[in-house]
A = this chain, B = another copy of it.
């Protein structure tokens, strides 16, 4: 806790460029092999640097991993954070489903990085889950509960609704190998059919019975 405002110090262009190349390469490798399965050799090769040079930019393998996770956190929470109280509740929640699915499509490596981490018991992000993430879920769950109490959506458990949205959307990134294997090589883009199905699934479950 020195005088520096953060871990980000003044850096030259080349330092910024190399740091970003390392994080990009590390995302590739960590998301595919997990933390223990990834090696500095693989990351160094993917980044086009030597192994010692990697450790000139980051003090350790763990530091690279931690930097990655922390840097991705905000954008990972953005789709849920964007859930608004105004507008039609059912459409608002379906919009969340679509935003989350768009994340899966665009950032499958990030999804697998988090999946690996949580699957191993979330050793590096325990605090964030029980803190930042829980707070966000609590806030949005209260909003959803309000909607349900007003009869504007069906009576559902808000937290398990959120879990099911996470599970169904991230499935297409995290279990991609299984999805592709089961659908076969002919299938072009599973996410198109997935969006249609999930829209039906959650619209049917959320539409209140009275209308």
A residues in contact (CB < 8 Å) with B: 32-37, 112, 115-116, 118-122, 126, 129-130, 133-134, 137, 154, 156-157, 159-161, 163-164, 166-168, 170-172, 174-175, 177-179, 181-184, 190, 193-194, 196-198, 200-202, 204-205, 207
Q: Are A193 and B160 neighbours in the complex by a CB distance under 8 Å?
A: yes
Residue contact B33 to A160, C-beta cutoff 8 Å: no
Residues from chain B with Cβ under 8 Å of A174 in the complex: 115, 118-119
Q: Are A159 and B182 in contact (CB under 8 A)?
A: yes
Please state the number of chain copies in the assembly. Answer: 2
Interchain CA distance A126-B198 in the complex, whole Å: 26
Q: What are the residues of chain B within 8 A of A171 when measuring CB–CB? A: 163-164, 166-167
A119 touches B175 (CB 8 A): yes
Q: Could you say which of B34, B119, B129, B172 contacts A182, with CB atoms under 8 Å apart?
A: B129
